[in-house]
Structure 1
Amino acid sequence: MAVAGLTAALLAGCAVGPDYQTPFLSMPDGWSHAKGDTATPRPPELARWWRRLRDPLLNQIIEEAVAGNLDVAAAKARVREARAAYRQSFGAMLPGVSGSGSATSNKSTGAGGSNGEHYKLYQAGFDASWEIDLFGVNKRAVEAAQYGLDAAEEDLRATLLTLVGDVAANYVDARGYQARIALAQRTAGSQRETADLTRNKFEAGAATALDVANASGQQTDTEANIPALRAAFHQAVHRLGVLTGKPPAALADRMNKPKAIPRPSWPIPTGIPADVLIDRPDVRLAERQLAASTARIGQAEAERYPKVSLIGNIDTSARKFGDLGKSSSISWSFGPTVSVPIFNGGQLKAGVEIAEAQRDQYFLAYRSAVLTALEDVENALVALRQERIKHGRLASSVQSYRKSASLARSLYDTGSSSFLDVLDAERSLYSAEDALIASRVAITQDYISLHKALGGGWSGEVDSSKPEVVDVNTGPHFVDIRPRPAPAR
């Protein structure tokens, strides 16, 4: 209670400069592309949104990434730095006390160079000073540091949001590549059977050499897609490994077993545009930075006003160390000092103008962050809606091409059509099925992008108090200052 009372007393009182107020920004009433089951006006469900993809392995990898990601660790360090900066700025408001002491051996020379008295002198003293924060220079510094701490915590949230989205996106990409590899292998296997059958027909005189060459060429053309898909799959897995703070191939064994492409749950609550002011960490970060820049205007303005400090000291000296507290000479002083800026060539006024210009920049950055957030949501909504329409068209296309391929083969077997019709139908079917898989991936990716745009990140506890590097032997000790050899190359 005493500490809280002292804190309140120190932070209260006079201060110059503008008092921060959150800016009012006009927001749209709703999302222009929120229609059907793509989005609903209910408040967005952002807490652990990835669990609605119903993939336990994805959930595990995201938790591992939150615990081990290096960008998150760096953001935690920035939070610790901001906390220390806040304590440092608050400490400037408290009195400062320092102590001093000395022990000297002295000898006075007598007249004519005769031996004088040899004596020892012990001295001790304390100095204290306290700047009375009449115009709030320190209060504004504490205020700016508090806003800076808030900004660091929002930066951590923004880093976690990006991390969760990146892990989910790369995981979905990896599953998509697995599905496309499986499709290419199945299609190549079917085309190999077609090529073998055509070769048998050629040997029996029922097909031409051109038919055999075309069938073999289509098979190898499909097989040629597989290496690139495998490379893309492994690259996505390597990215996942690094995102978890592990070697690139650390997740390879767990990811090699194919699984279905995660699919979203419908409908998707998106709330209203004003929600991004609360839910988006990058928007909240920009707003906290604006608040800190406003407080720094008060700091700069307060430098133009007089400063009053209370300074005091007490000194004692004695011929014996044990007499410092009882048979010693004592002197003390106490009183206020005033410092008044009279002429500084306009530097202090220019400092205020610099702070004001910086505040304007942060205000514009805040507005830009809000507009970018609105744009991100609108883009994700329209992409998701249109991709679902595309997926429906592709699904119909696959059904049509599947019938076409079956009919072309039947007609070829009865001699009613050419083999080129069969190849063309099978090629079209493979392209349509591959595009359908890519569309499934795109729908889930748009779902992920929408939740990132809405501000969905990690909602669990994150301990930012533990340092990454723990120093040892930090007390007084001998240090070898000899040059050390550089690491071997």
Structure 2
Amino acid sequence: MRNITILTLGLALGAGGCAAGPDYRAPGQATLGVPEQYYQAPGNAITDAELANWWTQLGDPTLNTLIEKAIGANLDIAQAKARLRQARESLVQSRSQLFPTVEGSAGAGRDFDSDAKDSSRFTLGADAAWEVDLFGGIGRSVEAARADAQASYYDLASVRTAIIAELATNYVQARLAQEQIGIARNTLDIQTENLNIAGWRVQAGLVSSLDEESARAQRAQTAASIAALESSYRAALNRIAVLIGEAPGAATKPLEEGGPIPIAPASLATGIPGDTLRQRPDVRSAERTLAAETARIGVAKAQLFPSLQITGNVGTSALSVGKLTDVITGGLFASLAQIIFDGGQRASEVRAQRAAAQGAFDAYKKSVLTALEDVENALSAVQSARGRTEQFAIALDASSNSALLARSQYQAGLTDFQTLLTAEQSLLSARDGLASAQADQALALIQLYSALGGGWQTMDGTTQ
């Protein structure tokens, strides 16, 4: 028996390096369909440092402070950290299968006999079991668990980038709403003055009551728009509060003092499409998921081959504690098992896992193409916002001059109220349009850097 056991151990050690299933290699850019350049940009180089804190390019200290709070207190990020810890513990559990399990036991008893002297009995024992990883199935399961843990890390990074982008978006929208409310209130003051002028001209018999009613209707519409803007503004503030892990209300009180719409820089770096494989955490998570599913092919394939189990035990018993080491007994046993017939179940599991790996590859490729789509859409949004800002600046200048002339001419009785009404409406539209275009420039920057995968590069190493 001893010779057989030694021979079995030798076979186990010799076969330990044999791993079932394919060795994983990450797909290349050509396989994933990644172009050399973005269609709408030359691809200026961009560093991890620029991506890591991209929001600082907006030059808004209040926004910087809010984002730092969100990184530390957001509850979605906290949940993602918990999932990462859970995945890492699963890796520890998988690794434990590579080692023997040992159980110890101890006992004590007292025998009573009316015809003899009472006696005590003590026992000590230990049992060990080890499944030898003959064909690498356990090693592949550890490989899969490691890839799953890495995917969870990148999932955490994805949540972080999404929260940063969402907070920045709501901040810009809040500042835009503040600007639009100010424009509407200023316009309301002018329209109140127009209403007073129209009423005076009606009383003087210079015009019909139609002018006064038109002025009253215009003023009421502007007043109604202020209520809608204030509702949107409050919703943005409430969302910001939740994103930084606090209740709506007092948390965003400092923002109510007002502030300018963040200004996007004139030039933006994008890098090249190949960078998305490294920068986008969701893409990297999909790649790690592909690696895990590929490793599980080996796990399934190893079930087709024999399994080797080595067990052993050691024990002793004595009538006193001091004599427990006098006689020690034990044994070592090796067993080899092989499935002879299972109706094709295990072969089917291998095929099913190959299909799962193919699906993971398709999901990975889709995540790459989606990332490229996001960047191209963001680049288009940047160009569109810049063009509209330039044109609305021209429209505002012309509308301001037109409204000024129309107001003075109406007061002098040289034009009708409808002309003034049209000029005032054009001015309000131009002011709103320019504010929206400026906000859209900032939002396009947020969209672009979110698409590029910015915001996680300096993530705390303790979570990695």
Partner-residue secondary structure (3-state), 1:20: coil
Normalised to the residue count of structure 2, the TM-score between the two structures is 0.92
The answer to whether the aligner puts 1:27 opposite 2:29 as a matched pair is no
Query: Within 2, Cα distance between the matches of 1:227 and 1:11?
Result: 76
Partner-residue secondary structure (3-state), 2:206: coil
Paired positions, count: 447
Query: Within 1, Cα distance between the matches of 2:15 and 2:215?
Result: 83
Shift of 1:107: 5.4
- List aligned pairs for 1:460-479, cutoff 5 A: 460-462=458-460
Partner-residue secondary structure (3-state), 1:98: strand
Amino acid at match of 1:226: I
Change (3 A) 1:138 1:187: same
Deviations 1:27-49 (A, max 9, x none): 112111126xxxx5222531200
Deviations 1:166-204 (A, max 9, x none): 000000000000000000000001111121222223333
Q: Pick which of 190-199 and 40-49 moved more.
A: 40-49
Amino acid at match of 2:360: Y
Deviations 1:379-436 (A, max 9, x none): 1111221222122222222222222212222332333321111111101211221122
Residue 426 of structure 1 corresponds to: 424
Residue 41 of structure 1 corresponds to: 44
Amino acid at match of 2:61: P
Q: 1:402, 1:429 within 8 Å by CA — same for their partners in 2?
A: yes
Query: Within 1, Cα distance between the matches of 2:437 and 2:233?
Result: 17
Q: CA RMSD in A?
A: 2.1
Q: Pick which of 334-343 and 19-28 moved more.
A: 334-343
Shift of 1:102: 1.9
Amino acid at match of 2:209: A
Partner-residue secondary structure (3-state), 1:46: helix
Query: Within 2, Cα distance between the matches of 1:49 and 1:11?
Result: 51
Deviations 1:447-479 (A, max 9, x none): 10011001111333436569xxxxxxxxxxxxx
Deviations 1:309-338 (A, max 9, x none): 322111111122332123xx4321013221
Query: Within 1, Cα distance between the matches of 2:211 and 2:15?
Result: 88
Select 1:15's aligned residue among 19, 40, 45.
19
The answer to whether the aligner puts 1:74 opposite 2:79 as a matched pair is yes
Query: Within 1, Cα distance between the matches of 2:413 and 2:156?
Result: 68
Q: 2:153, 2:463 within 8 Å by CA — same for their partners in 1?
A: no
Residue 177 of structure 2 corresponds to: 177
Q: 2:110, 2:121 within 8 Å by CA — same for their partners in 1?
A: yes
Query: Within 2, Cα distance between the matches of 1:122 and 1:347?
Result: 48
Deviations 1:213-269 (A, max 9, x none): 211221121111111111110100000010111112243311101100001112100
- List aligned pairs for 1:65-464, cutoff 5 A: 65-106=70-111, 115=115, 118-326=118-326, 329-462=327-460
Change (3 A) 1:232 1:464: farther
Query: Within 1, Cα distance between the matches of 2:461 and 2:143?
Result: 24
Partner-residue secondary structure (3-state), 2:130: strand
Select 2:67's aligned residue among 62, 71, 83.
62
Q: Pick which of 417-426 and 55-64 moved more.
A: 417-426
Q: 2:195, 2:215 within 8 Å by CA — same for their partners in 1?
A: yes
Structure 2 unaligned blocks of 5 or more: 1-12
Q: 1:10, 1:93 within 8 Å by CA — same for their partners in 2?
A: no
Residue 471 of structure 1 corresponds to: none
Query: Within 1, Cα distance between the matches of 2:418 and 2:328?
Result: 112
Query: Within 2, Cα distance between the matches of 1:448 and 1:181?
Result: 23
- Overall identity of the aligned pairs, in %: 39
Change (3 A) 1:11 1:166: farther
Query: Within 1, Cα distance between the matches of 2:344 and 2:116?
Result: 59
Q: Pick which of 16-25 and 193-202 moved more.
A: 193-202
Shift of 1:290: 0.2
Query: Within 2, Cα distance between the matches of 1:73 and 1:401?
Result: 50
Structure 1 unaligned blocks of 5 or more: 1-8, 109-113, 467-489
Partner-residue secondary structure (3-state), 1:52: helix
Query: Within 2, Cα distance between the matches of 1:161 and 1:368?
Result: 19
Shift of 1:11: 12
Q: Pick which of 284-293 and 391-400 moved more.
A: 391-400
Shift of 1:106: 3.9
Deviations 1:336-374 (A, max 9, x none): 221222222212111111211111111110011011001
Partner-residue secondary structure (3-state), 2:249: helix
Amino acid at match of 1:427: Q
Query: Within 2, Cα distance between the matches of 1:152 and 1:189?
Result: 55
Amino acid at match of 1:285: S
Shift of 1:116: 6.6
Query: Within 2, Cα distance between the matches of 1:273 and 1:105?
Result: 78
Normalised to the residue count of structure 1, the TM-score between the two structures is 0.87
Query: Within 1, Cα distance between the matches of 2:245 and 2:179?
Result: 27
Query: Within 1, Cα distance between the matches of 2:81 and 2:235?
Result: 28
Query: Within 2, Cα distance between the matches of 1:307 and 1:50?
Result: 56
Shift of 1:129: 2.1
Partner-residue secondary structure (3-state), 2:52: coil
Q: 1:79, 1:464 within 8 Å by CA — same for their partners in 2?
A: no
Q: Pick which of 341-350 and 195-204 moved more.
A: 195-204
